[in-house]
Amino acid sequence: MMGSVMACHVSEAYNKLLEAYVNDQAEKIRELPEMFRPGQYIAVKVLEVEGTKLMLSMMPKDIYGGLAREDVQKGDLVQAAVTSEEDHGYIMDIGIPNTKPFLPKSKHNPELELSAGMVTWCSVRSVAPETGIVKLSTDPETVRRSAPSRKPGKALLPATSVQFVVDKPLDNGLEGRVGELTAYIQRQHLDKVAGRKPAIGQRINARVLYVMPTRNTPFLTMKDIFATTCPDLQQEQTLKEGDIIEEAQVCASIVTL
């Protein structure tokens, strides 16, 4: 399936910049190739489905709008949008009502050149219940090591770090458990642990890709999606458009949920 994110579905702040540019109130605007890189992982919400084509949104309000302030905890990973740059940091948008996200410059990854409208992964450092102030960090190691203190449940967010217990191998991946939930890792998202394939009963680290609605079934990845600020597309995409595969096989697998 192929998904597309229109420029108007990046963030509220970027929409305001686009409007100002169209109305000749801004001389220039940061273009999408300057804000995103091939191979970069982002969280999106499906807005429309037409066959194998998807219309997607990465706006925080679309991804996290169903959450309440009480759902945000220290250690959570959120995809936040830059609303504005201030003297000591950035005012951010995480799309959750009654929150005031802030990214101090002292906790910002210097490799990332942030500007209004951009989206970036952030780790939640603290949440003030009284004021709703959510302090964030984009420090690479903090983002990689972030893990929520809550037990796995319905509030699993994209990219959340979880412990996956392997129950059995499938033709197209692994079936296992995250807490009390049955979870799956599909073949293209498997990786080796200490040079070996995961074994039955083994507890491994993985990240949430998405949770299947109604059945509350998480699908995970073992890939280190935050290994670097600037991902290497050569490693992410070994096969390129137009490549010829001499020894290809046709296979099909069905996972019953």
Boundaries of every domain in the chain: 1-149, 151-257
Q: How confident is the model at residue 256, as a pLDDT?
A: 39
Residue identified by tokens 């680290």 is 205
For residues 53 and 6, the answer to whether their CB atoms sit within 8 Å is no
- Residue 253: pLDDT above 50? no
* H or E element that contains 77: strand 77-85
The larger pLDDT score, comparing residue 104 to residue 150, is at: 104
Range from 63-77, 159-173, 227-241 carrying the lowest mean pLDDT: 227-241
Q: How confident is the model at residue 228, as a pLDDT?
A: 58
Q: What is the dihedral of CA 10, 11, 14, 15, to 10 degrees?
A: 90
CA dist., res. 35 & res. 26, Å (int): 18
CA 244-247-251 angle, 5° bins: 105
Q: How confident is the model at residue 252, as a pLDDT?
A: 46
> H-type helices in the chain, by residue range?
12-22, 32-35, 60-64, 140-145, 233-236
The overall average pLDDT reported for the chain is 87
* The two structure tokens encoding residue 68: 């309440």
Q: Whole-prediction pTM value?
A: 0.80
CA dist., res. 5 & res. 46, Å (int): 10
181: CB partners within 8 A, 6+ apart: 152, 216, 217, 218
- Residue 10: pLDDT above 90? yes
Q: How confident is the model at residue 26, as a pLDDT?
A: 83
| Nearest alpha carbon to residue 119 among 66, 64, 46 | 64
- Residue 8: pLDDT above 90? yes
- Residue 230: pLDDT above 60? no
Three-state SS for 5? strand
Q: Kindly tell me the sign of the dihedral angle through the C-alpha atoms of 159, 165, 168, 169.
A: positive
The larger pLDDT score, comparing residue 84 to residue 215, is at: 84
Residue identified by tokens 């229109």 is 6
Please determine whether the domains at 1-149 and 151-257 fall in the same fold group of CATH: yes
Q: How many CA atoms lie within 13 A of 138 on its CB side?
A: 25
- 3-state percent breakdown (helix, strand, coil) of the chain, nearest 5: 15, 35, 50
- Residue 27: pLDDT above 60? yes
The CATH code for residues 151-257 is: 2.40.50.140
Q: How confident is the model at residue 239, as a pLDDT?
A: 66
- Residue 25: pLDDT above 80? yes
The larger pLDDT score, comparing residue 55 to residue 180, is at: 55
Q: How confident is the model at residue 158, as a pLDDT?
A: 87
> H-type helices in 23-165, by residue range?
32-35, 60-64, 140-145
- The architecture CATH gives domain 1-149: Beta Barrel (2.40)
CA dist., res. 169 & res. 161, Å (int): 21
User: Which pLDDT band, with edges at 50, 70 and 90, does 255 fall under?
Assistant: very low
Report the helix count and the strand count for the chain, using DSSP H and E.
Answer: 5, 13
Residue-wise pLDDT for 134-191, tens only, equals: 999 999 888 988 887 766 555 678 888 899 999 999 999 999 999 889 999 999 899 8
Q: How confident is the model at residue 238, as a pLDDT?
A: 65
Terminal CA-to-CA distance of the chain, rounded, Å?
Answer: 20
